[in-house]
Structure 1
Amino acid sequence: MPTTSGGSSSTDWSNPAAEAASADGSVSPPAFRHQTGCFARVAVRRSAQASLGDLSHACYRRLSVVDRSDKCVVRCAPRYVSVTGTDRSSLQTNQEEPPVMKSRWLRVLALLLGLSMIAAACGDDDDTASEGEGEETEETTEGTEGEGEGEAAAGGTVVFANEQEPDGWNINTASSNLLALGQLTEIVFPAAFRTTPDFEVVMDENLLVSAEQTSEEPQTIEYVIQEDAVWSDGTPITADDFIFMYEMMNGSNGEIDVASTAGYDRVESVEGSEDGKTVTVTFAEPFSEWQSMFTNILPAHIIPELGDGDAVTGWNDGLDGANAPEFSGGPFMFEDYRPEQSVTMVPNPEWWGEAPNLDEIVIRFDVDNAGLPAALENGEIDMAYPQPQLDLVDQIDGLSDVDSQVSFGLSFEHIDFNLQNSHLAKPEVRMAIAHALDEEDVVARTVGQFSEEASVLQNRIWLSNQPQYEAHGDEYIGANVEEAQGLLEEAGYDCSSSPCTHPEDGELTLRITTTGGNQLRENTQLVIQNQLAEVGIGITIDNVEGGAAFERFFPESNAIADQDYDIALFAWVGTPFPSSNKALYTNEDPTLVGSNNTGYQNPAIVDIFDEALVETDPDAAADLYNQADTILWEDMPTVPLYQKPTFLAYRNTIQNVEDNASTAGPLWNAYEWSVEG
């Protein structure tokens, strides 16, 4: 589930730079992945069966069918529908449909796959339905305006306010692995698989003809690249690029800065054939999450040139600072980067897929969150994706020509305990805090004011809108002062006065630290402070402005001894691959932080994650991950609070906008955007 942007069970998160700050105070995984190019869903309701002809009436445009194991995916531009069954002549539809409201407040609930944890540290907040053709179809539009059957308008500019400016452009490195950057490169760098707004991982058909496992022993994956897939200089995208990514990311060369080695470190070989358009990856060890690999692919013929012929230098330093990439393998490419101001994204002239409608997207880095309502109102910007704050949302909701969407995605808020603290090293104290907290009250006073869908989260591996989710924290719902004080007394505390005291460790007073200036988090702190006072636990609020708070949790030295916090409050941002959670709760060297800022260690957790990583049965793997979460509730190194909402505001003249609350972000389908007038 989380990211500083994430890691997987085999990820090396020993480099604290992997926890790079993202603008909303959340932390995300080192790999950003997955999306599709469709923005609406066609649901066939009145009949359990639907022919391709029926579906084509609902799509209006070109229709294609792609087999994926036991599911066929029917796509059309710009809509798609996912249906089950492999009989192309008669496809049984998926009857489930997420709740959608045609209003300025769209609540898009994420479904399907699991999230994985990654850390991308973040700064402060300054950090419908209409009748289709044919009786058997109903068209549901999510987050779109002015949609019709005609072709989208060509041309125009969209100005997008980005909360954070990248300090480097190679998203595959730990030093530049920022959520904000990944949401830009989503439409620039090629990827084998992408994540849809409902968290389904799908093959990117623009890049690949197919991607399938051809052997179990040894595990072998074959990718077939589209013949017309080329880089922006006209050079074909081939197996050379896949081989290059493997060489840079397998972890065998300690000189290479890499955010995650997950999967690559299990590969025995990567080979090309068929003029480089077929790639065969053979694993030395099984890797169930192979679809997470080969994202943000970089060109093998260009990166070494950025290092004067040295591939490692080009990889590490060639895209640093102001060196925005001048190449692309996606629908857009970067142009005219102006540090501390903006970067422009223009259509890639060599793009072989559906051509973007817009002339350009200008990404602004110089509009702070406080100025967003005025900037939207006066036309200075057209779109923004800030972390929601109550006053900000209210102001934007009052603008007559601006629409907005609230979604729940891959990010969740939590508190972490520093187990080096003499009080928090005691399991009874950690469990007492969990019993003293009234998480429902926390939700009601914070994210519950944005959406009635907000709820208490009771799992660290799966989120509540995923089918694998199991609620394991029922006994901690609601404040239980008596139980909390009983646990403190068992641990030797005298709670006859407040704060409680311990004969050896003194007063039970703890600091809670978060990204200062973030109103939601500061409100959460006050609620927690008042609730814990009821059981005799003193809480001091000790914030650091913006992303600097993460230096307290993940010090530059990466040494546990250099941490400076008792309780941390922030968010993890995840991907659909849960194995990356392992990095949050384990560390081979207990003196180092990595992504495991609590210092928690339990060999049973390591064993479960390792077993799940090679488990090819998704249901069995989900059960294993739920077992891991059960153990985490017993040991309580962290307390999950709630899923965080995303907030997307945009001028209502922009068509085909839909948030993708995974790490892909709102630009995932920017090639479909168009501007009225």
Structure 2
Amino acid sequence: MSQHGVGPRAVTRSVAFLTAGVLAVPALAGCGSEDPAGKPLAAPDIQSAPRDRIADGGTLRWAVDSVPDTLNTFQSDADATTTRVAQAVLPSMFRMDDSGRPERNPDYLESAEVVDTEPKQVVLYKLSQQAVWSDGREIGAADFAAQWRALSGKDTAYWTARNAGYDRIQKIERGDSALEVRVTFSRPYADWRSLFSPLYPKDVMGTPDSFNDGARKKLKVTAGPFTVKKADREDGEITLTRNPRWWGEPARLSEIVLRTVPRDKRAAELAAGTLDLAEIDPAAARRITVAARPHSSSSPLMGPDAERSAADSLHSWAVANGSDEDAADEETVARKKLRRAAVKYARQQRALSGFEVRKSLEPAYTQLALNGAEGPLTDERVRRAVARALDRKELAQAVLKPLGLPAVPVGSHLALSGQAHYADNSGALGGQDTKEAQALLADAGWVRGGPVKEQKKEKAAGPEGEQADDTGEDNKAQHGPDPAGHLAQDGKQYKPHQGGAPGAYAPRGTAAPANQEAARLAKNGKALTLRFVLPSGPGSQTLRTVADRISRMLERVGIGTEISKVSDESYFKDHIASGQYDLALYSWPATAYPATDARPVFAKPVPAADGSLNVEQNYTRVGTDQVDQLFDEAVATLDEGESRSLIRKADSRIWAAAGSIPLFQRPQLLAARKNLVNAGAFGFGTPVYEDMGFLKKGAKPASGPSAKGSDAR
């Protein structure tokens, strides 16, 4: 996920069948006086400090996942690092506040407002008198017009990833002065604030060649507090340096170096002193938290020896001092390696004491996706049964409570708590209810303990494409009640005694009447088993933990799951996007402009000219004409209250269709050097790059509530 002003719009969002009269949608929240949007569940955590306490100069070394293939956020291979660079070096007419709502960026805009609605919508931008590109040219109408032409979709020579909003513009012209830009729309567009953020110079947007290739490896002309000094893909670094033509508050830092560091290597890099700021996983966060405690360089529960019991240690000593010389030598070498690893770990812990964990919630949520294109989940009753089997609060607590973050389930597909469009519409589907889930499954024809025909087993692809046997590790987590009741609670398998449970010795496929509560649901000779696809990489442990809990919840209503672990590289491309799954976990960013950005995510799939199904970004393949219509109405009304109401109605119907089930807002954990201020877990807010820096010697950050997320200026 990106850091979030340019963010949600700069990264392409790459990740219902509602029968009329079947499900009544309740009255929407928001009709009363209380704003259903609420407040953000967690504030930013950035160690705020006023600028006069920050040293002048210094280099911030910031870990990123990769040096991107392009610095043009409007191309399909742009990524989160592309967005981060754009935020620091390019104009953005609007940025996100701490509640995830757009606010005018005063460094570039004096004002921006709709000045006409009849016969056409007209937005008048009044630019800052000081706003100039790094080559000295004023930012003006020519730049706006070049970006519109490039992104309008009319010229296919431009390799654009998206054109939403720009395709509604009729013309762009200079206003009464060089500082005014008039944008006239051919059709009303509610999300007009989403446009021109970021804004590229006409040098980039002016021709297809410059758009397609000119901004991939470098940005010659910029207009932010920083400029791009070097983007080195071989060394895995992007260096940003102060922009001498920046007219706003001068950047406190001399440089920002964005370094590619794999997530599982970041704790070691922090300890080595080669990083100052890095997004980390929960395990690394625990290490840093322990290291920061007074008189604590490590914990007996952590480190290389963490999993060894006292008995293990005693056994190791006995072998090392035993009569078997070969075994003793081998054990002695192993003990020396362990001691060296322990010494290294303790040294790293001492170094990590100079860091702290800054935590918030990302403007993104994790969802359970249900593929409605094939298999049992084509039946909306089965999808709704899956949803009603889930205890979403338990899942949120499992992930967020250990981190000390608010464990509140997400109530909307289209916004998060605090954002203008948010309302908890989960009541359109209903909460956890085992009996209701079982009733829905029965209504869909799934019978507990029904006969099951023996199916020819197919081996599933393992993490790197190898074939994993059904008894191997990849399918070790095949879930579902044991038909014969052979598994005891201690996990051991027992053979039934003579006179045991009826049906225990019956031929395969025969129901066991006395043990129906433990039997799998079946229909037409097939058991109700869903393929649950998960990534296998080291950073996916949280998803696998959540998946395991979901599988156990589904067991209780008779739904089995088969966990299929695949490589991170193929997870989305080969499984989610191609529809090769029944259940999957992945995240979506929350955007301030859901009428524009969320429509392709929930649009009803339609047949393409070649006979394939055009799903846009709706990887659950579940959509309705009614939801599409609500999105279209929301994006075309300039009444902000009415637009929010339409978005909330659309969300209620998305809930009712049960194609995807929002679970929890993603945790945001960053390790930051203790004297680094105005940087960390930004939450919804757009980072203010010119205010980042290191405290002067002896200076202290802001105290009290303002230390988390206030404007440092």
Aligned: 1:395 with 2:287 = yes
Kindly state the Cα deviation for residue 422 of structure 1 after the two structures are TM-superposed: 2.1
Kindly state the Cα deviation for residue 535 of structure 1 after the two structures are TM-superposed: 1.6
RMSD, matched Cα: 2.9
Counterpart in the other structure of 2:95 = 194
Counterpart in the other structure of 2:459 = none
- Partners of 1:488 and 1:4 in 2: how far apart? 41
Aligned: 1:604 with 2:629 = no
- Partners of 1:380 and 1:149 in 2: how far apart? 25
Q: Is the contact between residue 100 and residue 419 of structure 2 (CA under 8 Å) also seen in structure 1?
A: no
Kindly state the Cα deviation for residue 414 of structure 1 after the two structures are TM-superposed: 0.3
- Partners of 1:284 and 1:274 in 2: how far apart? 21
Counterpart in the other structure of 1:378 = 272
Q: Is the contact between residue 440 and residue 478 of structure 1 (CA under 8 Å) also seen in structure 2?
A: no
Give the partner amino acid of 1:483.
Answer: E
Task: After TM superposition, list the pairs within 5 Å mapping 1:548-627 onto structure 2.
Answer: 548-553=570-575, 555=577, 562-579=578-595, 580-587=597-604, 589-590=606-607, 591-627=613-649
- Partners of 1:97 and 1:459 in 2: how far apart? 12
1:581-633 CA-to-partner distances (Å, cap 9, x unmatched) read 11111146341232111112211101111111122222222221111121122
1:551-601 CA-to-partner distances (Å, cap 9, x unmatched) read 03554xxxxxx4322212100012211212111111463412321111122
Aligned: 1:144 with 2:30 = no
Aligned: 1:328 with 2:222 = yes
Counterpart in the other structure of 1:503 = 524
- Partners of 1:185 and 1:501 in 2: how far apart? 53
- Partners of 2:646 and 2:652 in 1: how far apart? 10
Q: TM-score, normalised by structure 2?
A: 0.70
Q: From 490, 500, 516, give the equivalent of 2:443.
A: 490
Kindly state the Cα deviation for residue 409 of structure 1 after the two structures are TM-superposed: 3.6
Q: CA distance change for structure 1 residues 516 and 476 in 2, over 3 Å: closer, same or farther?
A: farther
Q: CA distance change for structure 1 residues 143 and 175 in 2, over 3 Å: closer, same or farther?
A: closer
- Partners of 1:566 and 1:4 in 2: how far apart? 31
Counterpart in the other structure of 1:215 = 116
Give the partner amino acid of 1:191.
Answer: S
Q: CA distance change for structure 1 residues 285 and 599 in 2, over 3 Å: closer, same or farther?
A: same
Give the partner amino acid of 1:361.
Answer: I
Q: CA distance change for structure 1 residues 298 and 483 in 2, over 3 Å: closer, same or farther?
A: same
Aligned: 1:513 with 2:533 = yes
Counterpart in the other structure of 1:225 = 127
Q: Which runs of 5+ in 2 are unaligned?
A: 16-36, 292-351, 450-482, 484-518, 608-612, 698-713
Kindly state the Cα deviation for residue 448 of structure 1 after the two structures are TM-superposed: 2.4
- Partners of 2:603 and 2:121 in 1: how far apart? 27
Q: Is the contact between residue 269 and residue 281 of structure 1 (CA under 8 Å) also seen in structure 2?
A: yes
Give the partner amino acid of 1:345.
Answer: L
Specify the structure having the higher radius of gyration (Cα).
Answer: 2
Q: CA distance change for structure 1 residues 335 and 180 in 2, over 3 Å: closer, same or farther?
A: same
Q: Is the contact between residue 240 and residue 276 of structure 1 (CA under 8 Å) also seen in structure 2?
A: no
Counterpart in the other structure of 1:269 = 171
- Partners of 2:63 and 2:405 in 1: how far apart? 27
- Partners of 1:257 and 1:500 in 2: how far apart? 49
Aligned: 1:185 with 2:86 = yes
Q: From 235, 238, 243, give the equivalent of 1:343.
A: 238
Aligned: 1:362 with 2:250 = no
Counterpart in the other structure of 2:702 = none
Q: CA distance change for structure 1 residues 3 and 604 in 2, over 3 Å: closer, same or farther?
A: farther
Kindly state the Cα deviation for residue 166 of structure 1 after the two structures are TM-superposed: 1.3
Q: From 405, 410, 416, give the equivalent of 2:363.
A: 410
- Partners of 2:99 and 2:66 in 1: how far apart? 25
Q: CA distance change for structure 1 residues 285 and 206 in 2, over 3 Å: closer, same or farther?
A: same
Counterpart in the other structure of 2:323 = none
- Partners of 2:629 and 2:690 in 1: how far apart? 42
- Partners of 1:297 and 1:475 in 2: how far apart? 40
Structure with greater helix share of residues = 2
- Partners of 1:642 and 1:2 in 2: how far apart? 17
1:280-317 CA-to-partner distances (Å, cap 9, x unmatched) read 1011111111111011211113555xxxxxx1122123
Task: After TM superposition, list the pairs within 5 Å mapping 1:103-142 onto structure 2.
Answer: 108-109=42-43
Give the partner amino acid of 2:154.
Answer: S
Kindly state the Cα deviation for residue 495 of structure 1 after the two structures are TM-superposed: 1.5
- Partners of 2:445 and 2:685 in 1: how far apart? 45
Q: CA distance change for structure 1 residues 287 and 582 in 2, over 3 Å: closer, same or farther?
A: same
Kindly state the Cα deviation for residue 144 of structure 1 after the two structures are TM-superposed: 1.9
Structure with greater strand share of residues = 1
| SS of residue matched to 2:447 | coil
Counterpart in the other structure of 2:201 = 299
- Partners of 2:685 and 2:375 in 1: how far apart? 37
- Partners of 2:178 and 2:4 in 1: how far apart? 34
- Partners of 2:151 and 2:605 in 1: how far apart? 20
- Partners of 2:570 and 2:409 in 1: how far apart? 28
Q: CA distance change for structure 1 residues 454 and 655 in 2, over 3 Å: closer, same or farther?
A: same
- Partners of 2:411 and 2:666 in 1: how far apart? 14
Give the partner amino acid of 2:116.
Answer: S
Counterpart in the other structure of 1:352 = 247
Q: TM-score, normalised by structure 1?
A: 0.74
Q: Is the contact between residue 109 and residue 465 of structure 1 (CA under 8 Å) also seen in structure 2?
A: no
Q: Is the contact between residue 19 and residue 554 of structure 1 (CA under 8 Å) also seen in structure 2?
A: no
Q: Is the contact between residue 516 and residue 546 of structure 1 (CA under 8 Å) also seen in structure 2?
A: yes
Give the partner amino acid of 2:363.
Answer: L
| SS of residue matched to 1:260 | coil
Give the partner amino acid of 1:495.
Answer: R
Q: Which runs of 5+ in 1 are unaligned?
A: 21-26, 28-95, 100-106, 111-141, 305-310, 556-561
Give the partner amino acid of 1:420.
Answer: A
- Partners of 1:233 and 1:586 in 2: how far apart? 43
Give the partner amino acid of 2:590.
Answer: G
- Partners of 2:185 and 2:141 in 1: how far apart? 16
Q: CA distance change for structure 1 residues 148 and 634 in 2, over 3 Å: closer, same or farther?
A: closer
Q: Is the contact between residue 366 and residue 664 of structure 2 (CA under 8 Å) also seen in structure 1?
A: yes
Kindly state the Cα deviation for residue 406 of structure 1 after the two structures are TM-superposed: 1.4
1:468-516 CA-to-partner distances (Å, cap 9, x unmatched) read 5332324867643222222111111122254321117x22111122332
Counterpart in the other structure of 2:215 = 319
Q: CA distance change for structure 1 residues 616 and 510 in 2, over 3 Å: closer, same or farther?
A: same
| SS of residue matched to 1:150 | helix
Q: Number of residue pairs matched?
A: 537
- Partners of 1:259 and 1:330 in 2: how far apart? 24
| SS of residue matched to 2:554 | helix
Kindly state the Cα deviation for residue 344 of structure 1 after the two structures are TM-superposed: 0.7
- Partners of 2:180 and 2:214 in 1: how far apart? 28
- Partners of 2:164 and 2:584 in 1: how far apart? 27
| SS of residue matched to 1:424 | helix
